[in-house]
Structure formats: C-alpha cells, structure tokens
Amino acid sequence: MVGPTVNRKMPRKNSRVVILALAIASYFFAEFSLPGGLVRRLWGKGSDDPGVAVVAVHRGNGSCLVLTTTNCVDITITMDASRENTASSRPVPFTVATRGQQRMELATFEPQSTSKPWDFHYRYQWLYGCPGAIPDGTVYMLPFGPADRHRLLQGAHGTFSHQAGSGNDFANDWDMPEGTIVLAARGGVVVGLRVDSMAHGVGERFKNSANYVILRHADGTYGEYLHLQPYAAMVKLGEDVHVGQAIAHSGNSGYTSRPHLHFGVFRIRDDNTRESLPVKIRTSEGIRTILEQGRVY
C-alpha cells in the first residue's frame, strides 16, 4: 500500500539563511577572484598623488608663491594667474623646472597701487620630469631578473592605455604577481618615489593612484616603474641606482585591472609635453625595440 504524499516546505527562516549565505559567497567570489576586486573597482576611492603643492606666503606688502614637493624632485610646472591691481616678479604665465629641488620660490605678487584694492588668483599644472633630455641609444635590460619569465600584457600602442599621444605610447605592461622583485632596467637617480597608495581599479579616479619609482638617466630621460606594492620600495629619493639593482616589489596600485608592472621611458619636451620614447631592450632573443604583445620574455 502506498501512503499519502507529504509535501514538505523549507521553513521561511532557513530559506532566508540560505539566500543570505549564497549572496555572501557570491560577493567574496567576485571580490577576490575578479582582477582588482568587483566592489573596489566599481566603488573604491582613488588616492591622488600628494606630491606637489603651491601656497601663497605673505611677504612684505605682497605674497610669494612657494612650491614644495614630497614625492618627486624633478617636475615641470606651468603657473598662470588672474590679477587686479597686481604686479608679478616675472611675466605670467611662466614655466619652470625644479630638477632636483623640493622647494622653490616661483614668483611674488604685490599691489601696483597701495591706495586701491588688489587681488590675484593662481592656478597651475605640472608634469613629472624636466626638459633637456637627448636620448643616447643606451640598451636597457628587462625590469625583472634573468631567471624570471613574464608575459607582455600590453606593449607599444596598446589599445587599453598606450594609444598614440597618451604619453605611454612605447611603454610595456608586464603580467607580474604582486611581490615580484622589480629591477632597474637602466641606472639613474631616484627622482620620484611614492609608496602610500592602497587604491586600485579601472576608473578614471585611479589614474593618479599608482605607487611608483622614477629614475632620471644620464641622458636626461626618465624611466618609470608603476603600480608597485604599498611601502615596498627598496630605494630612497635621491639615491643613485645601478642597472639591475632591486628597486621595489610589483603590485596592483593605481589604474589597473590586474597586478602588473608598467615600465616606460619618457622625456619632457621644450614645449612642456611628455613624450614616450622607444628604447632598445636586451632580451634572450636579442636586442628589440618593439616587443610582441602576448609573448613571454
């Protein structure tokens, strides 16, 4: 004899617990399996580079604009100002290069007539590096150890962020697990160093959030190593670095979709624009200027 069929329903409370558990599991899967983390990529905050500040300091009858830098000693800054009954110690706008200095007096502003109200409002923009570089054709090494092998995620004129005119035209992005030791591809002086950023993601707000080491080479060009681990630099600002020296650990800071190392060489032109430079790089297959995207080196 077959007895009556009994339909058992899961108690509503248990159903809610299961749904909540699935939601939590889905969040952690998305957050820690997707590059950069889902929530951090969509809603995380950027961390703008705090390395440059210009303040007006009272002096006599007027004010002096004083530039200070924290993370970089080589910058090119362009100042402009709107003025009312105000004279400037130098023609405005003007551009200056710090080259090794962390503090510089830029200009003074004073009233043209003390019997009338006077005022000025200043604004500025700046770039890492100073003009005057003449590339000398030096052959670079890869920015990692000779026993290491890494895939080139994005090379020259890559479509993600190395497009022509981007200032990163000839840079290379290397697939690299966080914590990998980064080596100086060429010797130079550490003129830029940031270690404090914990932010990363693919939004525009992350473009000034990378930790970095910037070296000034003997020919005046600059090598930049970006997206480094927080507080993992192995050099100091102003330090002389030799080729092949360990300078930092790779990471995932700044404008990134996954952990990687961005390495590029650039110069500041006399018209105050940044120019990405193609350089010769020694690989196991010989010296190359343009490396093949997707290939392991």
**Burial status of residue 277 (CB atoms within 10 A of its CB: 0-12, 13-18, 19 or more):** middle
- pLDDT given at position 38: 45
Architecture, CATH, for domain 52-128:
Sandwich (2.60)
pLDDT along the chain (297 residues), means of 10: 43 61 56 45 53 91 95 96 95 96 96 93 95 97 96 91 88 97 98 94 87 98 98 97 98 94 97 95 96 96
- pLDDT given at position 17: 62
**Which of 197, 260, 244, 192 lies closest to 222 in space, CA to CA?**
192
Three-state SS at 3: coil
Task: Enumerate the domain spans of the chain.
Answer: 52-128, 139-288
> CB atoms < 10 A from the CB of 201, how many?
25
Half-sphere exposure of 266 (CA within 13 A, CB side): 29
Q: Report the chain's C-alpha Rg in angstroms.
A: 26
- pLDDT given at position 51: 77
- pLDDT given at position 20: 64
Pick the CATH number of 139-288 from 2.70.70.10, 3.40.50.1220, 2.30.130.10, 3.40.50.2300: 2.70.70.10
- pLDDT given at position 25: 58
- pLDDT given at position 207: 85
Are 77 and 98 in contact by the 8 Å Cβ rule? The answer is yes
Q: What does each C-alpha distance from 194 to 73, 107, 182, 241 come to in angstroms?
A: 12, 28, 15, 16
